[in-house]
Amino acid sequence: MSEVSAKTVMGYIVSAVLLFFAVVFALASAYDTLRLVTSAFLFLAGFGILYYVRTQKPMQITQKLEVLGKLKVQTLECPNCSAFLDISQMKIAKGVPSMKCSYCGHTFEVTEEPKW
């Protein structure tokens, strides 16, 4: 998490520097069109990085929630030893979904329907 915030701070610093130079070039562009073009480019780059930094954070939160949701679906708790078991190892015996715990060997019926 600290790495992400450091990146965000870096993004803000870089965009601030770019925008600062954009203003400097704009002020110096009175008789020079090339400087005006450079200034416009720096403005675009500065705002581009600012936009990238601002849009990155909520995206990462969404990805994290998706991963947490998947983990919840794919695991099942053993009633004997409370170990988390992989739901893909579930077997249907006589129409009843059952699990054999790979940690304590306990076999139990899966009463709770898995939520996809």
Task: Determine, following the binding rule CB under 5 A, whether residue 81 of this chain makes contact with Zn ion.
Answer: yes
User: Is 77 among the residues that bind Zn ion (CB under 5 A)?
Assistant: no
Q: By CB under 5 A, which span of 26-34, 41-49, 93-101, 108-116 interacts with Zn ion?
A: 93-101
The verdict on 76 binding Zn ion (CB under 5 A) reads no
Pairing label, strands 107-109, 84-86:
unpaired
110 in helix, strand or coil?
coil
With 0-12 / 13-18 / 19 or more C-beta atoms within 10 angstroms meaning exposed / middle / buried, residue 106 is middle
Task: Report in angstroms how near the CB of residue 2 gets to Zn ion at its nearest.
Answer: 37
Q: For residues 60 and 107, which CB has a smaller minimum distance to Zn ion in the complex?
A: 107
Q: How far apart are CA 104 and CA 92, in angstroms?
A: 20
**Which residues bind to Zn ion, rule: CB under 5 A?**
78, 80-81, 83, 101, 103-104, 106
